[in-house]
Amino acid sequence: MSMMRRVVAVGLCGAALATAVAAAPAQARQARPEGVSGAGWRLKDSGTDARFRGLAAVSRTTAWVAGSKGTVLLTHDGGRGWRDVSPPGAEGLEFRDVEAFDGRRAVVLAIGEGEASRVFRTDDAGATWTETFRNTDPRAFYDCVTFFDARNGIALSDPVEGKYRVLATGDGGRSWRVLPSDGMPAAQPGESAFAASGQCLVSSGRRDAWFATGGAAGARVFHSADRGRTWTVADTPLPAGDPARGVFGLAFRDARVGLAVGGDYRAGQASPKAAAVTADGGAGWTEAAAPPPAYRSGVTWLPHSRRTALAVGPTGTDVTTDGGRTWRTVDPGSYDTVDCAPDLGCWAAGEQGRVARLEPARS
C-alpha cells in the first residue's frame, strides 16, 4: 500500500502476531470471526449494510472505510463506534478506494463511467468534503488511487484509446492532471483493472507504483519507477482468458518484493494459481507453490515482517509466513479488502457492512 501513514511506535512484534494467526487451531479457524482463539478477526458493528471495498488503516484505533451508496465511515476508538462522514449528495456513487494521511485527512475515489468517476478530499475528518476531480471523458473509468507521500499520488483509469490513463496530483489530491500516455504500453484487447479492493494500484516509497490487470488473454502487472510517467509490464501466472479473471490485488513490501492475488471472482468458479510473488520489482512473477484455495481480492503485508502477509476474499482469509510461497486459510469469513497500519492495526472490510480488526485472543 502507499507510504502515506506516519510510522508510530510498535508495542507488539509483527512476527509474533502473525505466528498466532498461522498457528490458530483448526477448530478456531472454522469458528465465526468474532469467536476465534489466537489472533483473529473480531467483527465491529458498522451500523450499515453498505459493501466496503475501500479501506485505510491509520492505526489500531483509527480506520476509514468507503463503499456502496456513497458511504464513508470513520472510527477513532478501534471500531466500537463509527461516524458516518459520507460526502453530502454522494448516495448514488460507488466508493471503491480511500487513502488516508491520518485521522483527519483522506481522499476517496468513486468509480464508474464518465462523471461517475470522482475524487473527494477532506481535511477535517469528514465534516466537510471538496470534490477535487470529476471525470468528463465518457471513455474513462477510474478504478484505484494511491499516494507516494502526503502530496504526490496517482489514480488509474481503464484503457482509453488502447492505453491505461493515469491521473496525477502534486498537492495531496486537491487538484489533478492527466499524464501523457506516451510512456504507457498498449493494453490487451478486453483488458482492464478491477476495482474490487482499492488495491489494483499500489505504491512503495516515493516513486514506485504498480497496477494489476485482467479480463484479457493474460493477467498482467505494470510498474512505474517515476510516479506514473513511464511504465513497463510483465505477465503473471494468475488465471486469465475471461472477463472475470485476473490479478485483483497487489501489495509491495518494498521496491522489489511484492504479492499478487486474484483468480475468478464468480462464486463457485475454480481459481487455481490465485497468488504469485515477485522479487525483482514486478519484472517477473512466480506462482505460489500452495496458493489460496479460491479467489482473493485483497492482500497486505504485516508491518515489520519480511515474510508474513494476509489475503482476503469472499470465502476466507489466508496467511503466508514464507513471503507468499505458501498460503493457509485461517478464517472463513467474507471480506473484500484488508490493510494494516504501522502499529499493527490490521483491518478487513467487505459485504453487508462487515468490518473487522485483527486482535489477540480474549483472556
Residues paired with 155 in a beta bridge: 145, 167
Predicted structure pTM score:
0.90
Q: Is the pLDDT of residue 360 over 70?
A: yes
241 within some domain:
yes
H or E element that contains 26: helix 26-29
For residue range 176-202, list pLDDT tens digits in order.
999 999 999 999 999 999 999 999 999
Count: domains in the chain = 1
Highest-pLDDT range among 6-10, 14-18, 140-144, 356-360: 140-144
Torsion, Cα of 294, 299, 302, 308 (10° steps)? 40
- pLDDT bracket for residue 68 (50, 70, 90): very high
Per-residue pLDDT reduced to its tens digit, 38-61 = 679 999 999 999 999 999 999 999
- Does 354 have pLDDT greater than 70? yes
How many CA atoms lie within 13 Å of 142's alpha carbon, on the beta-carbon side?
31
Strands 245-252 and 316-320: unpaired
Residue 73, CB-side half-sphere exposure with 13 Å CA sphere:
27
Q: What is the pLDDT at residue 9? A: 24
Whether 196 maps to a domain, the answer reads: yes
The count of other CB atoms within 10 Å of the CB of residue 123 is: 15
Q: Is residue 2 part of a domain?
A: no
pLDDT given for residue 23 in this prediction: 44
In-domain check, residue 101: yes
| Across 223-230, average pLDDT | 98
Enter the C-alpha cell of residue 119: 475524487
Instruction: Answer whether residue 152 shows pLDDT above 90.
Output: yes
Tally of CB atoms within 10 A around 29: 19
State the Cα–Cα distance between residues 210 and 164, nearest whole angstrom. 12
Give the model confidence (pLDDT) of 300-352 as tens digits. Answer: 999 999 999 999 999 999 999 999 999 999 999 999 999 999 999 999 999 99
Report yes or no: 125 and 108 within 8 Å, Cβ to Cβ.
no
What whole-number distance in Å separates Cα of residue 335 and Cα of residue 108? 19
Q: Is 224:209 a contact under the CB 8 Å cutoff? A: yes
The verdict on residue 42 lying in a domain is yes
Q: Is residue 68 part of a domain?
A: yes
CATH code: domain of residue 186? 2.130.10.10
> How many C-beta atoms lie closer than 10 Å to residue 180's C-beta?
10
Domain membership flag for residue 347: yes
Share of the chain above pLDDT 70, in %: 89
pLDDT at 288 exceeding the cut of 60: yes
Determine, yes or no, domain membership for 3. Answer: no
Which range marks the domain in which residue 163 is found? 14-359
